[in-house]
Amino acid sequence: MGRRVTPDEGLLSMTSTTGTAADADRALKARHRAMWALGDYPRLAADLLPELGRTLVEACGVASGDRVLDVAAGSGNVAVQAAKAGASVVASDLTPELFDAGRARAEAEGVDLEWREGDAEALPFADGEFDVVLSCVGVMFAPHHQPAADELVRVCRPGGRIGLISWTPEGFIGQLFATMKPYAPPPPPGASPPPLWGREDHVLELLGDRVTDVTTERRMLTVDHFDRPEDFRDYFKAVYGPTIAVYRSLAEEPERAAALDGELAELARRMDRGQGSTVVDWEYLLLTATKRRETVPSPR
């Protein structure tokens, strides 16, 4: 049996950087962009995550006439659903290589939306530009959590809505990152673990008193796409950028790569509740909030 991994989530960045803070940040973001361009994230989103886009759009009551921003949108899992609800939508992501698949999906669904390259920690939009600001397992991967949260609030109009879906530390994807962490290069100084966004107390601290009417709920996404635990592992090795990046870092260490093979399969086996095929529940945190109409300082 594989060892039990504690929820000690780790950001999977390639290496730390040197030089000025601005140079270091640019280099870090360049590596993040390259990591998410690896493999085929649009395929994963289409195969496993379409339910989450619908869930977030419905939870925030997105409707015709809303101006909506999908932050760290990837290939538009949320953005396309918001456009189908009649909203005017901008999908923004650090990795524009994902946009072609998103455009194709939007065309297939008969909707039109805008695609803009943008860093979640420095969004290229005006204060209060959007009625609804959403992110589905996206903004959580920005390395610096407080600036990312500040941007979510800044671009939302007073009285507008903010909605987030984030993987929890204890859930399957949180445990996936915890399993990979010992095999990955260390994160750069100042980076925070992504699944912290799946903790209610952490997100509430990030948003502070700038929001009201906050609701949080832990839910499960049931994934029954794989016949065997090994199939899950091989799929993630082929299509999921963070997993691909870890294995690339182990290219000269075949024994460690083999050990990670075993641990990833064991993770799926341990959490499998299926009979005859692999069925795993992936826990996530759904948060909705309203931006206060009065100005409240950032909780920095």
pLDDT score for 23: 87
Rounded CA-CA distance 261/247 in Å is: 10
CATH number of 28's domain: 3.40.50.150
| Residue environment code for 226-239, b if the CB has 16+ CB neighbours within 10 A, otherwise e | beebbebbebbbeb
Residue 4 pLDDT grade (very low, low, confident, very high; cuts 50, 70, 90):
very low
Tokens matching residue 177:
């990152």
- Paired with 222 in beta bridges are 281
Q: List the domain range (segments joined by +) for residue 208.
A: 21-291
Residues 242-266, mean pLDDT to the nearest whole number: 98
Whether residue 154 lies inside any domain: the answer is yes
CB atoms within 10 A of CB 216: 15
Residue 184 has pLDDT above 50, yes or no: yes
Domain count for the chain? 1
pLDDT tens per residue, range 113-130: 999 999 999 999 999 999
User: What's the number of CA atoms in the CB half-sphere (13 Å) around residue 35?
Assistant: 22
Residue 15 pLDDT grade (very low, low, confident, very high; cuts 50, 70, 90):
very low
Rounded CA-CA distance 75/91 in Å is: 8
Whether residue 16 lies inside any domain: the answer is no
pLDDT score for 11: 39
pLDDT score for 300: 56
Residue 279 pLDDT grade (very low, low, confident, very high; cuts 50, 70, 90):
very high
pLDDT score for 297: 58
CB atoms within 10 A of CB 126: 9
Residues 233-249, mean pLDDT to the nearest whole number: 98
Whether residue 46 lies inside any domain: the answer is yes
Whether residue 200 lies inside any domain: the answer is yes
pLDDT tens per residue, range 47-87: 999 999 999 999 999 999 999 999 999 999 999 999 999 99
Whether residue 247 lies inside any domain: the answer is yes
Residues 189-199, mean pLDDT to the nearest whole number: 93
pTM above 0.75, yes or no: yes
Residue 5 has pLDDT above 70, yes or no: no
pLDDT score for 12: 41
Whether residue 199 lies inside any domain: the answer is yes
Residue 180 has pLDDT above 70, yes or no: yes
Residue 188 pLDDT grade (very low, low, confident, very high; cuts 50, 70, 90):
confident
Q: Per DSSP, which regions of the chain are E strands?
A: 67-71, 88-93, 114-117, 130-136, 156-167, 211-226, 278-291
Rounded CA-CA distance 185/204 in Å is: 30
Contact 244, 264 (CB under 8 A): no
Q: Percentage of the chain with pLDDT > 90?
A: 87
Residue 189 pLDDT grade (very low, low, confident, very high; cuts 50, 70, 90):
confident
Residue 99 has pLDDT above 50, yes or no: yes
Q: Which positions ≥6 away from 109 have C-beta within 8 Å?
A: 80, 83, 84
Short-list 154, 166, 168, 148, CA closest to 211: 154
Residue 8 has pLDDT above 80, yes or no: no
Residue 166 has pLDDT above 60, yes or no: yes
Give the mean pLDDT of the chain: 92
Residues 261-286, mean pLDDT to the nearest whole number: 96
pLDDT score for 13: 37
Residue 212 has pLDDT above 70, yes or no: yes
Whether residue 11 lies inside any domain: the answer is no
pLDDT score for 299: 55
| SS3 annotation, 255-282 | HHHHHHHHHHHHHHHHHCCCCCCEEEEE
Whether residue 187 lies inside any domain: the answer is yes
